[in-house]
Structure 1
Amino acid sequence: MIILASKSASRQAMLQQAGVPFESRPADLDERALEAQMAGAVAQDIALALAEAKALAVPQTGGLVLGSDSLVEVEGRRFDKPASRGDAAEHLRFFSGRCMNLHSAAALVRDGDIVWSHKALARLHVRVLSDDFIEAYLDKEWPEVGWCVGVFRIEALGVQLFDAIEGDYFTVLGMPLLPVLGALREFGAMPR
């Protein structure tokens, strides 16, 4: 059984649906402080550093610990989860008509060492969003999307934000699942 260093419902659901035995133990980590230390770094490197830091922050028991993180970047500006409904509306207005880069990363740690890591990119083309649509969308999706970087759940009404998506569905959900499954098989945590 692996340890998932996350409380993310989406990441837990992906692992459950894929038949991966795991226990969730959220990492005690100041993500914003780590991001501040990496000022000037590219988003994909920050996502990977956060995934690795989460996995390293969970007490080791000899098994594998999986850390994962996602960051959204639009036109060079990084976005975190919205702090309020007003913040969510502001994010959506900024995303309107632009391409959202969603950087997702995962790392496996065993006995305090990073034994595997992977980063992936999905490009989501946001359609032009009217203020009426944004308000109606948030009426239905808030507060659930408040826990989501990018202010959407692709498996719910969030799919309506986009004209096109380039990249892996699981990456969009918040973890590059197929490479993670391959690594778990490689390290003997799942049958080949």
Structure 2
Amino acid sequence: MQHSIILASGSSIRAELLQRAGVSFSVMKPRVDEEMIKSAMLAEGESPRNIADALAQAKAEKVSMKEPSAFIIGCDQVLAFDGRILSKPESSDDAGAQLRTLSGKTHELFTAAVICQDGRAIWRKVSDVRMTMRPISDSYLDSYISRNWPEISHACGSYQVEAEGSRLFSKIDGDHFAVMGLPLLEILDYLALRGVIDS
């Protein structure tokens, strides 16, 4: 019996990564109160890694309740810098403030993926990538934001490395696919092992 794959995410880049890998899947965006989960976990002193994992699981579980036999892929990213978490920018001014904070420094990006079936998690992966941003001039920063807004409003940290955001970095230590939103190789490996995709 061939099981279907559903991506529980509205992210176009995540969908594109799976499409390019030749995976047949559908998309179902879950309705999850991310800020409520994040705030509650921060209040309890949870780590950015665990918050990313919990958010990914909440999304996958939500869709899995509606489509129990399918393999549901839930994902989330959390950016940690200097003991705090940076979320998606709410305005272009917010994006400028985030990028000025990160300029010339190293931060961590946690990318979580959880696969659910029958309403429960059956596989998970959290990738930890260290991102070092080059010192950025105010003039370039302003022109970068004006050219790339509102696209970067969907990205924590206000950058997209798959686009012009790659120019902001001097070094990236870790999985490039994870930076783009999906630990793709590990997901493909698991789906192949389970016989969900051909290998």
TM-score (norm 1): 0.97
Equivalent residue letter for 2:89: P
Q: Which residue pairs with 1:33 in the alignment? A: 36
Map of 1:45-60 to 2, 5 A cutoff? Answer: 45-58=50-63, 59-60=66-67
Q: Does 1:155 align with 2:158?
A: no
Equivalent residue letter for 1:46: I
Equivalent residue letter for 2:49: Q
Q: Which residue pairs with 2:153 in the alignment? A: 146
Q: Does 1:124 align with 2:131?
A: yes
- Paired with 1:107 and 1:61, the residues of 2 have a C-alpha distance of 15
Q: Does 1:113 align with 2:112?
A: no
Contact 2:5 2:72 in 1 (8 A): yes
Q: Which residue pairs with 1:12 in the alignment? A: 15
Deviation string, structure 1 residues 114-172 (Cα, Å, up to 9, x no partner):
10001001111011111111101111111110111121111111001111111111011
Map of 1:159-174 to 2, 5 A cutoff? Answer: 159-174=166-181
User: How far did residue 76 of structure 1 move?
Assistant: 1.5
Match among 179, 184, 189 for residue 186 of structure 2: 179
- Paired with 1:185 and 1:191, the residues of 2 have a C-alpha distance of 6
Match among 72, 77, 80 for residue 73 of structure 1: 80
- Paired with 1:115 and 1:125, the residues of 2 have a C-alpha distance of 33
Q: Secondary structure at the match of 2:113?
A: strand
Contact 1:71 1:103 in 2 (8 A): yes
Q: Secondary structure at the match of 1:26?
A: coil
Q: Secondary structure at the match of 1:46?
A: helix
Aligned residues: CA RMSD: 0.9
Aligned residues: 192
Which ranges of 4 or more aligned residues in structure 1 deviate by more than 4 Å? none
Map of 1:81-92 to 2, 5 A cutoff? Answer: 81-92=88-99
Contact 1:74 1:98 in 2 (8 A): no
- Paired with 1:115 and 1:37, the residues of 2 have a C-alpha distance of 24
User: How far did residue 56 of structure 1 move?
Assistant: 0.3
Structure 2's unaligned 5+ residue stretches are none
Q: Secondary structure at the match of 1:11?
A: helix
Equivalent residue letter for 2:170: D
Q: Does 1:64 align with 2:56?
A: no
Deviation string, structure 1 residues 2-37 (Cα, Å, up to 9, x no partner):
011001011000100011111000011000111112
Structure 1's unaligned 5+ residue stretches are none
